[in-house]
C-alpha cells in the first residue's frame, strides 16, 4: 500500500542544479523518516541524504554543502535540491521511507555531463 514516486531527474551540465521530488502515499507521512539514495552502474547503493520526522537532516560527505533535503508534510513530498553538480553525481536516485520496513521508489536518472 505504501507507494513512492520520484520525479525531476534529467541531464545537466557540471555546475548546474536539479531538484528531485518524491511523492509518498500509504503512510502517515509526517511520522516517517525519509532518505535519498543513489546507485551508479556497477556500484553499491549509497545514502545521499536523510530527514527525520522531526526535521533533522544528515548528508553524505561527498554532497555536504551542495545538496539540501527538505520535506513538505502537507503535500506528502520530500525534495532533494542538488547544486554544483559534478560528473561523479551521475546515478539513479531513489527515495526511501522507513515504515515497518524499507520502501523504495522506482528511481530517477541523473546524468551530469558536458
The pLDDT value recorded for residue 19 is 98
Per-residue pLDDT of the chain (114 residues; tens, 9 = 90+): 899 999 999 999 999 999 999 999 999 899 999 999 999 999 999 999 999 999 999 999 999 999 999 999 999 999 999 999 999 999 999 999 988 899 999 999 999 999
Closest CA to 78 of 21, 9, 26, 38: 21
Residue count (the chain): 114
User: Which residue in 43, 46, 40 sits closest to 90, CA to CA?
Assistant: 40
Amino acid at each position: 500500500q505504501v507507494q513512492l514516486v520520484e520525479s525531476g531527474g534529467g541531464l545537466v551540465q557540471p555546475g548546474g542544479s536539479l531538484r528531485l521530488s518524491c511523492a509518498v502515499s500509504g503512510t502517515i507521512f509526517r511520522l516517517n523518516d525519509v532518505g535519498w539514495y543513489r546507485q551508479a552502474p556497477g556500484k553499491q547503493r549509497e545514502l545521499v541524504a536523510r530527514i527525520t520526522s522531526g526535521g533533522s537532516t544528515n548528508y553524505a560527505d561527498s554532497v555536504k554543502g551542495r545538496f539540501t533535503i527538505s520535506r513538505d508534510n502537507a503535500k506528502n513530498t520530500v525534495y532533494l535540491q542538488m547544486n554544483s553538480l559534478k560528473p561523479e553525481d551521475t546515478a539513479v536516485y531513489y527515495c526511501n521511507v522507513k515504515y515497518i520496513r524499507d520502501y523504495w521508489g522506482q528511481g530517477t536518472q541523473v546524468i551530469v555531463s558536458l
